[in-house]
Chains A and B, each alone.
Chain A
């Protein structure tokens, strides 16, 4: 990387830390530190909500999805705007009027202390682990692509984030999120600009998109109803709705964002910002990946973008096989480049003619040949190294950035990846510290202490969770399957937690015992569905629906039965 790019990344890191702390006011009070004294404007809260959700792995992984699979992943977000409307009518007014610090505190007001403790504990376990994964995933990619030491990369992401979160509390987190969203969107737009600019003279933007579309990359909406297909219109609009309701309505890392808003209405407006902008933003990020695909049609691309095992393979017993695949890849890639150029130029000149159809068919076949070689290469790496978690697509976008973006923009894009990681981690650390102090320390161990005391403990809790996340990150990078375990645990937890909140807000007769039994039943059923051979292929998005329905049904039944027995 050029020194100017290093300078941009360094300036970005210093600016985020210093300005976040400068803008933090009244952080010597508990309400100021955790909830910004409920004083933040809706647009800052709205940007913070979006920045928290957009982690580095979303940015890098989504562009990779766009490259490999096209626009289909956008369907994952179709339920989000509906969820935001429902949450604006339900939890936002309920939580704000209850004057709670955490979502789980509300459950004690509604049910009892054990329901609060159990849900808050589940949140701490899940988020504590996932925070490590959120650091680990971009750290692995950045360290490989930039040639940095992995532990140092984890610390470069973790330490500044822990520092400004500890120092400035939720205000530093929110104002940093605002700037981070600007950096992320600016970086993505710059990448789109460079990608469009880099198209060959004979290829217009329309014919580039047509070329990508002819191999399915522009297919965004799939109306088939198939429970085993991860991304369809139905899984997005129903499963995605439940996931978004659970994430934005019951996860403290999001709830804490809109509890900082000035009023109920400003809290609502902050959520509606995501409702308007989330799908277009994700579509833009996926489109960036599609344009990277087009870019590598006309530029030399490596057979595999992830260089993790390159040296091991080249010095191992299967080197001949690997080199054969590289030769096949070169030939297949050359013929695909020629087919793409022919298709794009005929399409530009003639539109949808018979010749365009023939050129399209030739390109589809050439692309299938390239895909086949790449798939075999990935399988070979997995077999030769035993690394079953080996993936290639997450490295496509960083490789493009480092090797093809102009000086200055490389720094901006690397800063954007850092920004995406830091914004999510900061919000999680802040919410983990809040839940630890408010739901456990103040509630069970030291009620009635001074604000200064709780602030000291909060900072210690932030540092603890930050250190915990960094340690998990170091181990997560060596245990690829750990990432999957954490994500699976998240899907067991989210729908079931949503069920508890549905009971709290929507079922008048629900009791604490009913909610607790329902929660255990919901998580057990989701675990059964996820691991039973007959149902394990059901897409994880449906787990949220199953969890929420089981908890609501069992919780209501148990509540009614226990009330009848007591009566």
Chain B
């Protein structure tokens, strides 16, 4: 099997998935909410 296929199969067996992406999602969400909050304070 080609390396890509092996990686894809390994990724499919991985139950949790890309933890780094999850952390990135949550950090970005906090930043976006902080930005919205700041905009409300700044323009309000």
Contacts and interface: CB of A to CB of B under 8 A. Distances in A.
Interface string A183-225: 0000000000000000000000010011011101011110000
Interface stretch (A10-18, A140-148, A263-271, A296-304): A263-271
Chain A contact residues, majority secondary structure: helix
Interface of B: 8, 11-12, 14-18, 21-22, 25-26, 28-29, 32-33, 36-37, 39-40, 42-44
B12 to A, nearest CB: 5
B40 A93 contact: no
A279 interface: yes
Contacts of B22: 85, 88-89, 272
A279 B29 contact: yes
Interface stretch (A74-82, A111-119, A414-422, A432-440): A74-82
Nearest to B29: A81
A38 B21 CA distance: 23
15 contacts: A88-B17, A88-B22, A89-B16, A97-B12, A213-B40, A218-B40, A218-B44, A219-B44, A220-B39, A220-B40, A233-B33, A263-B12, A276-B25, A279-B33, A283-B32
Contacts of B17: 88-89, 92-93, 264-265, 268
A283 B36 CA distance: 9
Contacts of B25: 81, 84-85, 272, 275-276
Nearest to A94: B15
Contacts of B42: 213
Given A220-B39, A220-B40, A283-B36, A265 B11 contact: yes
B14 to A, nearest CB: 8
Contacts of B36: 71, 74, 220-221, 283
B28 to A, nearest CB: 6
Interface in A428-485: none
A280 interface: yes
A174 B38 CA distance: 37
Contact of A265 (B12, B32, B44): B12
Contact of A221 (B16, B21, B26, B33): B33
Given A71-B36, A89-B17, A279-B32, A213 B43 contact: yes
Contacts, number: 84
A244 to B, nearest CB: 12
Given A81-B29, A272-B21, A275-B25, A71 B8 contact: no
A209 B11 contact: no
A374 B25 CA distance: 41
Interface string A234-270: 0000000000000000000000000000011100110
Ranked 4 nearest A-B pairs via Cβ: A213-B43, A220-B36, A218-B43, A213-B44
B40 A264 contact: no
Contacts of A263: 8, 11-12
Contact of A209 (B18, B21, B28, B43): B43
Given A97-B12, A264-B11, A275-B29, 10 more contacts: A71-B36, A78-B29, A78-B33, A89-B15, A92-B17, A221-B33, A265-B8, A268-B21, A283-B32, A283-B36
A283 B35 CA distance: 11
Contact of A219 (B14, B29, B40): B40
A71 B40 contact: yes
A130 to B, nearest CB: 28
